Amino acid sequence: MSTLLIEGGHRLEGRVAVEGNKNAALPLLAACLLTEDECILKNVPRIADVEVMVRLLQDLGAEVEGLGTTTLRIRTPRVRTHEPDRALVGRLRGSVLLLGPLLARTGKAHIAPPGGDFPARRTISTHLAALSEMGARLIPGEGHALEVPDGLKSASMYLYEASVTGTETALLAAAMAPGVTEIRHAATEPHVVELCEFLAKMGAGVTGIGSSKIRIEGVPKLHGATHTLGGDYIEAGSWAVVGAITGGEMAIEGARDEDIEVVAAVMKRMHIECGMRDGVFEVKPSKPKAVRRIVTGLWPSFPSDLVSLVTVLATQAEGRTLVHDWMYELRLFALEQMSGMGADMFLADAHRIIVTGPTKLRGGRVLDSRDLRSGMSLIAAGLAAEGQTRVLPLETVERGYSQLVERLELLGAKVAREE
């Protein structure tokens, strides 16, 4: 286990480039299992979650070249098992995305309960219901075991919840289900769009891309395809907050204007001078102001993945801000640790926190990065605080941020990795 030692109080400035969208990389990797042909993915983020997913593919029989680089070549001439490695599944919630491809290729799928952030509170009932609509039958027993003795079939379905991975699970299964499958109340996030585009390149007929009603015409055989991932707007937003909270000037490359605007809209309300210029998202030194309320929502509303970071930014804003994350009841709990740093925060309930600022944060604390996004938020708090702060385990944050320590150092942070 590693700890990040942070000496706070230093302004971060410079240029940083984000890699591909983490939340797109995982379903695209799962989609590569649908064909025997080679698939090539470019601008893949070099993060721990991608490595775990690649290891899962290899365990299932995939041949993968380029691990550790931004270009991966994946070929799966034969799927040798329908039960992916239990230990790896327990480390990654995205492993649930393997259900559809395994049912399509082998007629069976058996995965252990997926891990990741808050595994006990995030069910896969939407995923299982979608697969059931397409002919999958649940086999009693440990974990999640399904079979399609007569093969996958097309279906017309309404998703009770506009779940991102639930929508992706339905898409992955439908790509090889004969006939036309219609998915209503589908998630519309950019990473869902990327999966639709990739499946279309592989030969599936996909219409309604980017809308809440997607129609996909399955084919008996998909072929290989090449895809370049779009930049990760969550990572871009994270660096933007880090720049703003330290009073720095940041230039962030790689994010698309239409994706980052959901982050920019909230930052501008907080009087952060920021915006896109010539494909680069710029953040200027500013004096943040509180806003009455920040609420997360389904795309294109403010993303839950950034709620922890914007809460930390609110500690440096003049006035009182109510932050409301109605999507996940555990995301804000980790931020209570900042009270020991001098932050004026009141956790109203599992979904709402009231922040009054600005407050001068103090270091000298050991902070527990209980999930990926709160971990990055606590690092941001440590960067803004006076004195030293330790955040652990660093590996939790590295699940979603490539070369984190090196990039912080290049931006002027005084940080060190301790084993």
Average pLDDT of the chain is 95
Cα of first residue to Cα of last residue in the chain, in angstroms, is: 6
List the beta bridge partners of residue 227: 41
The pLDDT, as a whole number, for residue 326 is 86
Instruction: Write out pLDDT tens, residues 347-372.
Output: 999 899 999 999 999 998 888 988 89
Instruction: Write out pLDDT tens, residues 62-76.
Output: 999 999 999 999 999
The pLDDT, as a whole number, for residue 331 is 79
CA atoms of 198 and 193, how far apart (whole Å): 9
The answer on pLDDT for 412 being more than 90 is yes
Torsion, Cα 2 47 263 368, to 10 degrees, reads -20
> What is the token pair recorded at 314?
């609110």
State the average pLDDT over residues 117-125. Answer: 65
Residues 6+ apart with CB under 8 A from 361: 8, 315, 338, 341, 342, 343, 381, 384, 385, 386
Instruction: Write out pLDDT tens, residues 176-206.
Output: 999 999 999 999 999 999 999 999 999 999 9
Instruction: Give the Å distances, CA to CA, from 210 to 140, 169, 200, 215, 368.
Output: 36, 16, 13, 11, 37
Q: Using an 8 Å Cβ cutoff, are 186 and 163 in contact?
A: no
The pLDDT, as a whole number, for residue 122 is 64
> Which residues are known to be catalytic?
117
Instruction: Give the Å distances, CA to CA, from 234 to 41, 75, 262, 353.
Output: 20, 29, 10, 21
Q: Which of 41, 126, 49, 127 lies closest to 89 in space, CA to CA?
A: 49
Same fold, 3-18+231-418 and 22-228: yes
CA atoms of 151 and 272, how far apart (whole Å): 54
CATH class of 3-18+231-418: alpha beta
Confidence band of 332 (pLDDT split at 50, 70, 90): confident
Confidence band of 342 (pLDDT split at 50, 70, 90): very high
Q: Is the pTM of this model over 0.75?
A: yes
CA atoms of 207 and 212, how far apart (whole Å): 11
Report the b/e string of 173-184 with b at 16+ CB within 10 A.
bbbbbeeebbbe
Peptide bond preceding 300: is omega within 30 degrees of 0, i.e. cis? Answer: yes
The pLDDT, as a whole number, for residue 120 is 43
CA atoms of 144 and 159, how far apart (whole Å): 19
Domain ranges across the chain = 3-18+231-418, 22-228
Instruction: Write out pLDDT tens, residues 152-172.
Output: 999 999 999 999 999 999 999
CATH, range 22-228 = 3.65.10.10
The pLDDT, as a whole number, for residue 305 is 94
The pLDDT, as a whole number, for residue 119 is 44
Instruction: Give the Å distances, CA to CA, from 329 to 122, 163, 317, 393.
Output: 10, 16, 24, 22
